[in-house]
Structure 1
């Protein structure tokens, strides 16, 4: 299965993008939040991905952070929530907001998403209550810990998703950010942090 893609942003649609990876164009379905975050056509982008395989189709879903991917996985585990509906919810609510809505049983907040009625929103609250954690949590800043900027946060999520322990990931991202500067791209930050984490 495809877990991650890194390449050049070739096209942007209303809820999809095409990522050119070594000459191969991958059509990836994404939330509007991810679309807003990827930048312009021609940008270098790294996406975490999840592939859904059915008899009639193979669909690739992409995420800018491990938190968003975890939210997607939790949502699609609920009966009646397919990949498109999960992305619609994540377009309206970020992972932290979704966690708050589930914890408080706020079905009205969840039903703001296209294709989500009150009954489905209630089912999401019921089934995920107590199971859906705050996937966007990042270790607090301290010595050798990456600052909580959005790029650093996403780099931390990427390393965590690849199996690195939080303390190692934090130190690696902090060292990478110190080396590259605060304006480093997500892809560059992840690449350098991976080298440092693997030492």
Structure 2
């Protein structure tokens, strides 16, 4: 399983990039959001990846963030949504926008992506309900965890450890409230883990 690539950007197209890793060029498919943020040709890049193996092909998908990869995994769990269609959705909606559209049942927003009709948009909204977490990451106590910064990184760390989005955001919000806005990432993650384990 290839989980991450770190190398030099060799070329990009509308939906793909080639990353040179120690002389081996990896072709990755990515959302337009990731490709827009990837940087110039010849620059160093680090991308998270997901390898899909089919009977007749192996495709490597790349992501600029753990949140985007997580959204991709959820989307491809929905019947009728393959890797390329999931990228088309993520090209229109970032992870927060997708979570918001799913949580509010906004089928019109989901169907803005090329290739997503009203029926598929409804299926995505229904099947992913409660799986993507809430954008803005409000805790059970109603304290929003700020987007970006250490709180966001701590939330990502807990999500990577297998905590559900709601659990993770509640624990990080409680930890941040206790430690204050200047808490280090390390301290925030440690306290959030203790709170999540209770």
Q: CA deviation at 1:134?
A: 4.0
Say which structure, 1 or 2, has more relative contact order (CA 8 Å, 6+ apart).
Answer: 1
Is the deviation greater in 155-164 or in 123-132? 155-164
Residue-by-residue CA offset, 1:50-109 (whole Å, 9 max, x unaligned):
000011000000000000000000000000000000000000001000000001111110
Count matched residues: 165
What is the distance in 2 between the residues matched to 1:169 and 1:53? 39
Listed as ranges, the matches of 1:1-199 within 5 Å are 1-134=1-134, 148=148, 163=161, 170-171=185-186
> TM-score of the superposition, structure 1-length normalised?
0.72
Instruction: Answer whether contact 2:16 2:29 (CA < 8 A) is retained.
Output: yes
Residue-by-residue CA offset, 1:97-129 (whole Å, 9 max, x unaligned):
000000111111000001100000000001111
Relative to 1, partners in 2 of residues 1:169 and 1:20: Cα closer, same or farther, differing over 3 Å? farther
What is the distance in 1 between the residues matched to 2:20 and 2:28? 11
Q: CA deviation at 1:43?
A: 1.2
Q: Counterpart of 2:72 in 1: which secondary structure?
A: helix
> TM-score of the superposition, structure 2-length normalised?
0.73
Q: CA RMSD in A?
A: 3.0
Relative to 1, partners in 2 of residues 1:154 and 1:42: Cα closer, same or farther, differing over 3 Å? farther
Q: Counterpart of 1:79 in 2: which secondary structure?
A: coil
Q: Counterpart of 1:88 in 2: which secondary structure?
A: helix
- Structure 1, gaps ≥5 residues long: 142-146, 173-199
- Structure 2, gaps ≥5 residues long: 138-143, 164-171, 176-182, 188-198
